[in-house]
Structure 1
């Protein structure tokens, strides 16, 4: 096995504080081996044993990994380098923290001429998922982030959160329907609007990496650039086994899902809390402006990581019955809702 980047603890799991994206982990049990030796014992009759080549690092601020199945170590390293170059290129389109990114320039100026194709494509996808979820997924909630961040960014902030007036003012600047998108220009329909693609961009980038590898002939590979997507089945001939961790017990799983050319994403307010009491977090209901506290986490299995990412974000602010009806609209298959009391409710399309 080739390890291109370290950061692992002895059992092969990334160390450090758990975040929104780390509630999904790959279970080594499916191959009968630990993650530290993933790929061993998979020899085929009359052929050299193939290897998994593994990279671990950070993409869009989240832990990321790539488990590439390829018999040629040198070619595997070239493929991983090309995949990471694509990740960094797309980060320069979608980043909120790079003032030169296409998204940052759009938010600053209120419009962007000749937008990158990827931005147009992802905004079109965002609008589809917004319609499918009745507006629960809405990339225009960035003004709410600003209100909450500014409120809790000062000493002696009111622990009850921003004022109702400030929240109403931010909600008035939200609304995906007021974003005009075409190949020539992206523009806001109201002053003060701003976009965040943090609820969908990691899934999109995961898909782009998977498509890049697929075009280069790669199969039997697991891509996680913030969300997890499987290319084909595991080399052992069975689906990939992906465990979804319990938000309150990192060493326990709430479910194990089998992936074969599918993706899975988990969202939860635990990823970024504004306050020490963990009452206020980074997932917002675009209708009320309030933070998502309906569930501890929501996980979605779908054909693409883009879809899974958007739905797990949207479902975090939706009642289970409404969320369940949205699954089939976009071709997703399953969702797991972890309630505040720890119970898990599973729904299928």
Structure 2
């Protein structure tokens, strides 16, 4: 993923550089990637695989144990055990907390004790739609768009979201809720990530394992096409009839989805379906907020396609699910830090937790230093 991310950044930087030269103007910032493929490659020797539940010694007095976060494939919560002067303290880092009863993945790990907890708050001030709404929403989008004769463009994250989409599409086909549909996963990263999923069935939940056993894997249903090359990607726009294109990036800030948006966003018969969070300042946020015209790859396009969103796909726990995770603690932590969320979400979640628990809770600021007693 690091290599793909670096490659996308380099491609985007080169595109902007050429566009600025063509338009004879200078951008507000140098057209440089945050890091390059060379930078990414230089980090590979620093990585080592770690099994869930096996403590890893970091230095003399620090021990870290990784646990399944249920967020994306291989995601981890980390419990760190510190020893000093004969005393021990545990610090629990939630990372991104997943959700219960989601397809493919096992549920998040619960913990009974921790002295200090850092918990995310991406959706700390809201509740998700019921995941059962996904079937209805997805089938409606597909059936109505097919009746209009348009395409369905789905900006998607390559890791987890793309695979979860395939799970639901496979489910809808098995249940005969949608007609046969060509589905293109147009993302080299998503294609490679899907192969990783196939190679690690030990991480599947029971329902997913049963589908694989019955040879009804969501990664091999009729009509599914995995696209890697640029030539294959370009050819999608010449396919007749309705197709669904799942492509990155999930917030439309780069990647092949931009080219598919160019081909479809001004077509009234097509649908742009968002299945993930759209951060402020992104092209995805502009579209979902109802922009009538958007700039894509240096050109302005009117928005005529149907714009819709299904929120139940989120891989982040919502307020009630985060509280469920924290409720596993049998005693109050010495201090709970609410992190990893937009300020409004973080502060509202902190207030919610204070009312519910009475624990010592704070929202740390950037570069704040805290002494753990």
- Ranked by relative contact order (alpha carbons within 8 Å, sequence separation 6 or more), the top structure is 2
Structures share fold, TM-score greater than 0.5: no
Task: Pick the structure with greater CA Rg.
Answer: 2
TM-score, with length taken from structure 2 = 0.28
TM-score, with length taken from structure 1 = 0.29
